[in-house]
Amino acid sequence: MSLVPVSKFSAKVMKNIKSIPSGKVATYKQIAELSGKPQGSRGVAWILHSSSTHYKLPWHRVLNSKGTISFEKGSRNYKEQKRRLEKEGVEFVGGQLDLAKFQWKKKISKPKTKKGTPKIFSGRA
């Protein structure tokens, strides 16, 4: 196990994970994408597996794409992760959380078009 980021990828992964704000979560895939490997979710998982607490990373804020904890339910780590998340305000519904609501978005993209605005069809078709 490597205790230091040996590759660029792992360094980015750690940095990105560190920047996840409290109360929000990210998915392995998301971290992989932010780190330049859209398909590298497994690599991300491996890195967390090998470094977890060593870097004071908010590892508990990383979930799989289903919005569930990736440990076996009932395992010690599962409980620990859930406890930490709930402490930050994340709500679990049946062992699952609402990604649409709690997933962290790095780029806050603002919708330009007001969707409620009815388009007046004044021209002649």
| Residue placing its CB nearer to DNA in the complex, 47 or 90 | 47
In the bound complex, what is the minimum distance in angstroms from residue 16's beta carbon to DNA?
13
Q: Which two tokens stand for residue 67?
A: 């919005």
Interacting residue ranges for DNA, rule: CB under 7 A:
1-2, 5-7, 9-10, 27-29, 37, 39-50, 52, 59-60, 62, 64-66, 70-71, 77, 81
| Residue placing its CB nearer to DNA in the complex, 16 or 60 | 60
In the bound complex, what is the minimum distance in angstroms from residue 9's beta carbon to DNA?
4
Per DSSP, 63 falls in state E
| Residue placing its CB nearer to DNA in the complex, 40 or 108 | 40
| Residue placing its CB nearer to DNA in the complex, 93 or 125 | 93
Is the separation of the CB atoms in 9 and 31 below 8 Å?
Answer: no
In the bound complex, what is the minimum distance in angstroms from residue 11's beta carbon to DNA?
9
CA distances from 83 to 42, 50, 92, 103 (A): 24, 21, 10, 17
Radius of gyration of the chain (CA): 18
Q: Supply φ then ψ for residue 93, to 5 degrees.
A: -120, 105
